[in-house]
Amino acid sequence: MSAPERVFERAIIFAPLSHDCQITRQILLEAGIPRVIARNLSSLRAKLEQGAGLAIIAAEALSEVNLESLQHYLQQQPAWSDLPIVLLTHHGALEQPLSSRLTDLLGNVTFLERPFHPATLISLAAAAIRGRRHQYEARDRLIDLNQSEARLKNTLETLETRVQERTAQLLHNQEALRQAQKMEAVGQLTGGIAHDFNNMLTGIIGSLELLKRRLARGRFEELDSLIELGMTSANRAAGLTHRLLAFSRRQSLDAKPVDMNALVTAMGELLRHNLNESIHLELALGEDLWIAETDPKQLESALLNLVFNARDAMPDGGNLRVGSFNQSLDRAFTESQDNLEPGDYVVLQVRDTGSGVPQGIINRVFDPFFTTKPIGLGTGLGLSMIYGFSKQSRGHVVLDSTVGQGTTVNLYLPRYQGAPMARNEHARSGRAPSVEDGETVLIVEDDPAVRLLVSEVLAELGYRFLEAGDANGAIPILDSSQRIDLLISDVGLPGMNGRQLAEIGRQLRPELKILFITGYAERAAVRGDFLEPGMQLITKPFTFDLLTAKVREMICV
């Protein structure tokens, strides 16, 4: 035991009679207990402040002195400290008034009558030191806890500052701020994204590394499986970003009139294909259903997610009902909801007879990465994506559930109020239009890898192409006599953005056709407000088939 530790386990002896003092000192010495003698009350107080395991005090040493200093020390002990004191008395002294007063004064006191057996003193001292050791251990734990609390508080304050700064950048209205504060999942969201993306990146990077090794060794067998693995992981990563943008209401929506009954009917076979044979699917589509205004692809994705959730809630089979109906919402209902106006809505309803959701967690089902499914069977983004999609579409979603009886989800989408739109009856031939000599595309993209890939696709199609890394490089080309049949531009360019470039391009070339590509652009979230005639938009990551189709469609129109 080191010297500092011995100080906190020593016995301080305060006895005016040298006989008592020496006997006590000798007994403790033979027992191996550290000890020190206090000659007067001031010395006792000073040594106690230096550290002590217990104090051994003769009662008569306190009888005719001012005890205010000792009393103040004992009363000012920290919460963890309760100094044990062994008070040496004479036979029968416990009945004396002084003993009663000293008990009130000293607190944690044990009386030992003289003459005493050495074993008794040693036993009391050892017990007192053990108890005192526990007190100092408690003190150390409190110090550690206080330090940990201070570090945690500092960390939380730092995180809170960062979250507030980031929230201020991303949220533009009070409703969005309330929703962000409602989500306790700032840390949960970050961890969920990192977990899923790391898994997907492992699949992408690992498959590419294996491809590189096999090609270097001249092994060309089974390359398709590695390519498929990388593509699958990359598509999963793309799906994750789309779901995150959907939840945060920042995805690019292509809102248009949608016949919900026709959409559900067309998906019927796909839905049945993804259900167990023990699940009975019923389509209960309302008559005279209004036309909804929404993004049909996002609506399809939402319906699939709801059906998959219902399927997973019925592992032993059950009934699944997909229905539709008209609903008019009054202000009494909409005032209690976020971002919802009174009016006419078309409702997509998915009802199952599955396990249900406990009421204790039903308020969390729309939070990102919250899932009741076992690990590996769900990301927790399906319902949060539907929530974000409904809000961005100026709609609403409601989930009602009873444990053991099932769950009902109603997705409200606004009724289309515009003029009837004629269907596009453009006949698509089995063979794509051929490329005419000299057809030229201007590619404006600040990411060299994306620019290279797009140019390679265009070269394979037979188009000529020109490249620019930003708007400053593109404007002189647009202002030249160079033939340009199509402008492909990223929305998020450095400096002047793609939409501003398009406006200048239209001033220089009024008939210029423009295809925007974007990974995320807030202004492009609602395509109808962003695009003009002769403009289209696709989101990254896109397939080369989609890019090819869009380029041919726009140039050939």
Beta bridge partners of 536: 515
Q: What would the mean pLDDT of 12-18 be, rounded to a whole number?
A: 82
SS3 content of the chain, % helix, strand, coil (to 5): 50, 20, 30
| Maximum distance among all Cα pairs of the chain, rounded to whole angstroms | 123
Q: How far apart are CA 237 and CA 22, in angstroms?
A: 82
Q: Exposed, middle or buried: residue 252 (CB in 10 Å: 0-12, 13-18, 19+)? A: buried
Q: Which residues, including other chains, have CB under 8 Å from residue 525's CB and lie 6 or more apart?
A: 249, 250, 251, 252, 253, 392
Beta strands 256-258 and 279-285, pairing class: unpaired
Give residue-wise pLDDT tens across range 105-143: 788 888 888 888 988 888 888 888 888 888 888 888 888
Check if 3-139 and 440-556 are the same fold: yes
Q: How far apart are CA 413 and CA 173, in angstroms?
A: 22
Q: Which stretch of DSSP H or E encloses residue 60?
A: none
CATH code of domain 3-139: 3.40.50.2300
Give residue-wise pLDDT tens across range 319-347: 999 999 999 988 888 887 767 888 999 99
What's the Rg (C-alpha) of the chain?
40
What pLDDT shows up at residue 427? Answer: 36
Give residue-wise pLDDT tens across range 462-514: 889 999 989 999 999 999 999 999 999 988 888 888 888 999 999 999 999 99
User: Does the domain made of 256-414 have the CATH classification 3.30.565.10?
Assistant: yes
What pLDDT shows up at residue 519? Answer: 72
SS3 string, 455-510, reads: HHHHHHHCCEEEEECCHHHHHHHHCCCCCCCEEEEECCCCCCCHHHHHHHHHHHCC
Phi, psi of 341 (to 5 degrees): -105, 150
Closest by CA to 176, choosing from 356, 378, 457, 392, is 392
Q: What's the topology of domain 440-556?
A: Rossmann fold (3.40.50)
pTM assigned to the model: 0.43
Which DSSP string corresponds to 207-241?
HHHHHHHHHHTT--TTHHHHHHHHHHHHHHHHHHH
DSSP 431: S
* Per-domain boundaries in the chain: 3-139, 180-247, 256-414, 440-556
Q: How far apart are CA 525 and CA 253, in angstroms?
A: 6
Give residue-wise pLDDT tens across range 53-83: 898 988 888 876 777 888 888 888 888 888 8
Query: What is the identity of the amino acid at 184?
Result: E
SS3 string, 357-371, reads: CCCCCHHHCCCCCCC
Write b or e for each residue in 57-67: b if 16 or more Cβ atoms lie within 10 A of its Cβ, otherwise e: bbbbbbeeeee
Helix axes 223-247, 382-392, angle to 10 degrees: 50
Residue 5, pLDDT above cutoff 80: no
Give residue-wise pLDDT tens across range 416-429: 887 665 444 333 44
